[in-house]
Amino acid sequence: MWFVRFLTSSIGKKLVMASSGLLLFLFLCTHAAGNATIFMSSKVFQSYADELHSHPLIVLVFSLSLLAIFLVHIGVGLYLFNENRAVSTSRYAVSTRVVKNSLASQTMPYTGLFILLFLVVHIFGFTFSPKTVPISVTVKELLGNFFYALFYILAFAALFLHLSHGFWSMLQTFGVNHPRYNEFIARLTLVFPLFFFAIFAGIAFYFMTGLGANY
């Protein structure tokens, strides 16, 4: 079938990575906005979480779709990484791809796997936390632990690195590339990762240092 053939082609796989990456980016925007209510008060954050969970069907569909998007992004990402490695170690292959040779681009699979490890820890800690304890209390308790919060901050640094290349790569795949705007695009690829780092690491830092003691 032409669709399967397209999806398994090189450009098809890049498009799958870019589209799933875009959806994950949109999730991060909503998650960062929701979590930022922590800085207002535990009451505001709790009412945000309660409002979300008052629509269980929407939450279920959203969570399952998110899981599927993550699996596709990770699966195709690892496949592309192996494929690229096979090409670069072949004595006969000539690579015509222009690779942005930065720390972020070279470490994509490793930062990706670290984020995956973070997600497993995160979901066990928060999504599957005992329902008898309000989520606003769980957040304070878990992130009040210095080493737990430190692990989170390291994961957010990996997320920063991953997104700083991923965002650029996604825009290239979508053809957002023009000599007049390339400078602006390059800056844009840093603004969003920095913004996410500030919000997420800011929350971990808030509890880790005791700044959020009265939250």
Nearer to ligand HEM, 55 or 85 (CB): 55
Considering CB under 6 A, how many residues would be counted as binding ligand HEM? Answer: 19
CA dihedral over 39, 44, 47, 52, signed as positive or negative:
negative
Closer CB to ligand HEM, 18 or 166, in the complex: 166
Residue type, 164: S
- 10 Å Cβ neighbour count for 84? 14
Tokens 């979480």 correspond to what residue?
49
Is position 192 an interface residue for ligand HEM (rule: CB under 6 A)?
no
Kindly write out the interface string for residues 130-169 of this chain, putting x where it contacts ligand HEM by CB under 6 A and - elsewhere: -----x---x------------x------x----------
Nearer to ligand HEM, 74 or 185 (CB): 74
Which residues in 34-63 contact ligand HEM (CB under 6 A)?
35, 49, 62-63
- Give, as one character, the DSSP assignment of residue 178: -
In whole angstroms, how close is the CB of 93 to ligand HEM at the nearest point?
34
As given in the structure block, the two tokens for residue 207 are 């509890």
Three-state helix/strand/coil letters over 84-122: HHHHHHCCCCCCCCCCCCCHHHHCHHHHHHHHHHHHHHH
Residues 6, 126, 146, 184: which binds ligand HEM (CB under 6 A)?
Answer: 126
Nearer to ligand HEM, 10 or 41 (CB): 41
First to last CA, the chain: 56
Least distance in angstroms from the C-beta of 143 to ligand HEM: 7
Comparing C-alpha atoms, which of 183, 184, 182, 188 is closest to residue 163? 188
Q: Binding residues for ligand HEM, per CB under 6 A? A: 31, 35, 49, 62-63, 66, 115, 119, 122-123, 126-127, 135, 139, 152, 159, 200, 203-204
